[in-house]
Amino acid sequence: MRMRRQGGIGLIQIAVYGKGGIGKSTVSANISYALAGMGKRVLQIGCDPKHDSTRALLDGKAQTTVLSYIRDTPPYERRLEDVVLEGVRGIGCVEAGGPEPGIGCAGRGILSTFDTLKRLGLDDMGFDVKLYDVLGDVVCGGFAVPLRNEYADGVYLVTSGEFMSIYAANNILKGLRNFDKGVPRVAGIILNCRGMEGEYESVGRFADAVGLPIVACIPRSRLFSNAEAAGRTVADMFPDSDVARELRRVSDHVVGIMEGRTELLRSRPLNDDGMALIAGGRNVPGTDAFREEARTSGCRSCAESPKKITTEDRIIPSCAAAGAVHGCSSITDSVTIVHGPRSCAHIMTSSKNLTEIGRRRTIGAGRIPQGMRIASTDMDDTVSVFGGAGLLEQKIRDLISEGHRSFFVVTTCVSGIIGDNTIDIVNAISNEHPDLYFRVVEADGNILGDWEEGYIESANALLDMVDETIGPEDDAVNLVAERYFFKRGERLDNEVFDLFSSFGLRVNCRFMYESTMDSVVGFKRGGMNFVSNSDRASRGVSGLIESKLGVRVEREPLPVGVREYAAFSERIGREFGMEGRAAEVCEREVSAYRSETEALRERLEGRTVLVENRFSQNTDWLLELLLDLGTEIVAVDSGPVHRWRERRPASRYASSGIRFRQNCCREDVLADMDRHSPDIVLTDSVISCADGVRNTTYSRPAPGLRGVLGYARRFADLTLLPATEGWRNIS
């Protein structure tokens, strides 16, 4: 057989399948122990939601499952060593785990586990043997993953003489046949005896009918329970027992496969008539008549592919798929396909279109709005039965015929739950069109997280496009993770460019904000990298850039307000060797700011202001502006912080006499309004304020000082309006 190479060492991947409770985990652990004793570097991956596969290899201890780990740990904090533990004889131990009982799809969890391990670098650890211990009662799309060619070179079936156990083994053969594509991969049957009368004969009839050898016959023994109580394997605790000798027959069989001495066999499952004969204790005559016919698919997407495009990874206020779509659709000369229901794509495109309408004057000539760069496979409820592969293939082909050249495919909860093999579908089409660009981002929000998780995963995908041979240019900078959801006005983009052009610098790439494929490829032309904000998603993207490209991203976000702008100017001058010019530009901009705020101060000085902060991480720019305008800030009421984020950074105005309140609800804000009767209420929430109070919304403006001055003018104009609109007095 053709051996895989991993880290320079030959690798064989073995899957051990069997009905739940048949003893496959015990058998797997003993095989791993025996193989390790033969000098093989072994990794055992438990793929059963019970997550007890590796206990006997870890002195009876349980370990953190991959699914619980990815649920509780943000992507940029995940480490391979947290989920791969070293057991006895140096055996690597992994447990996939499963969702809460009755919630979610355990099979989908297997897909997520394998993808996570791959992203974290498991393939670089140099194992000789990977052994997958897999539940085989129902070979659904998720639990069938280890049957795929890329994961299993050989498959062992653990069974007893009970009919349901044999029935499960036959079902596993059916699943394996659907993935074989003519490649023999069945290793044989392991009989784990229950002590039934005629047990060997029953399994022997089935083995003869499907053309497989019984590799080992493990006797029923108290030694298993004794070893389990001690947190050890039988092969470890009772090495000279008959049980241990039978188990070593399996490890010898694995080594025989590795060395080419033992042949693998084709999957030849029985049909219902054949299984009825087995159930009745009869031999299966003329076996070919009782075998299930192999169903070969003419679907091109099922063809074996020599390479992968990618899978990068990986809910609830807004799902991971929405975040990934937002990131991928920022590439202006590409199309992003949402592999999911029409409703999901509608929500994603609607938010994009509303933003584009709000800043319609900033869309350059010929640029396609982001909402129009998103397509959908329009999944409906039938895909849970029939799958969505055909929908995705047809959508890609339709878009190719329309002239599109670059494609991102983002998976949703639905495509993940049903186990659509999106990678293979895209690979097949990619092989037909090597001149086109394809990238898959598996961002199934049902397990992997919320909007931010998907956004970070899309950044991970986009960074693979970067040409790392390109060097930095003297006058170029990059902007990272810009996201202006609520900004309006034709000068939005101009202010971003002007921020740097005033220093004689140009923006090379606006990473994940209206970028071209070429600008992302040439990302490393930028001599400095500036992050737009300090939120978690921006920090996650910055961390990815630093780890994948080996370049530094400035810790401080793009400046807003005088204090931040002055520090930014000083940094630009120092890094680009233009201290004099930077100081001159800063003095000019700050002087213009002071002049305008002084003129507006006449209308605002002495006015009382209440600030409600429900979503913003940092409002110091706003407080700085209000103080420069001469207002009195009576309170800053902050709402609860999202569970993923750390506490908001302390304000530099915390000791200035301004009253700060944390974890405020709407009732707290209304109570403060009654208490202080402010002249103006400023809020970053869209909820309307009480009658009789001048109010307006705010959000972090475009970088520099011009956006701040825009708010200054708005606040001043509020004083010219009546506290209660005239229409409210009409009876």
Give me the active site residues, please. Answer: 19, 24, 50, 137
Separation between Cα atoms, residue 636 and residue 627, nearest integer Å: 13
Element (H, E) at 550: none
The tokens for 108 are 């989908």
Helices 272-279/163-180 angle, 10° precision: 150
Separation between Cα atoms, residue 403 and residue 47, nearest integer Å: 43
Extended beta strands in 24-77, E state: 42-47
N-terminal to C-terminal alpha carbon distance within the chain: 88
CB atoms within 10 A of CB 676: 16
> Are 345 and 527 contacting, i.e. CB atoms less than 8 angstroms apart?
no
Amino acid, res. 578: M
Element (H, E) at 716: helix 706-718
Query: Helices marked H in 515-643 — which ranges?
Result: 517-521, 536-549, 562-576, 579-604, 620-628
Helices 579-604/562-576 angle, 10° precision: 170
The torsion angle over the Cα atoms of residues 562, 565, 566 and 569, rounded to 10 degrees, is -160
The tokens for 411 are 């998976």
Closest CA to 99 of 142, 146, 145: 142
Separation between Cα atoms, residue 413 and residue 114, nearest integer Å: 17
Separation between Cα atoms, residue 63 and residue 92, nearest integer Å: 12
How much is the CA Rg of the chain, to the nearest whole Å? 31
Separation between Cα atoms, residue 16 and residue 168, nearest integer Å: 13
* Cα separations in angstroms, 308 against 145, 312, 427, 612, 728: 15, 11, 6, 49, 63
Amino acid, res. 27: V
> Are 652 and 624 contacting, i.e. CB atoms less than 8 angstroms apart?
no
Element (H, E) at 254: helix 242-258
How far is C-alpha 356 from the geometric centre of its chain's CA atoms? 27
Q: Rounded to 5 degrees, what are φ and ψ at 385?
A: -100, -45
> Are 9 and 128 contacting, i.e. CB atoms less than 8 angstroms apart?
yes
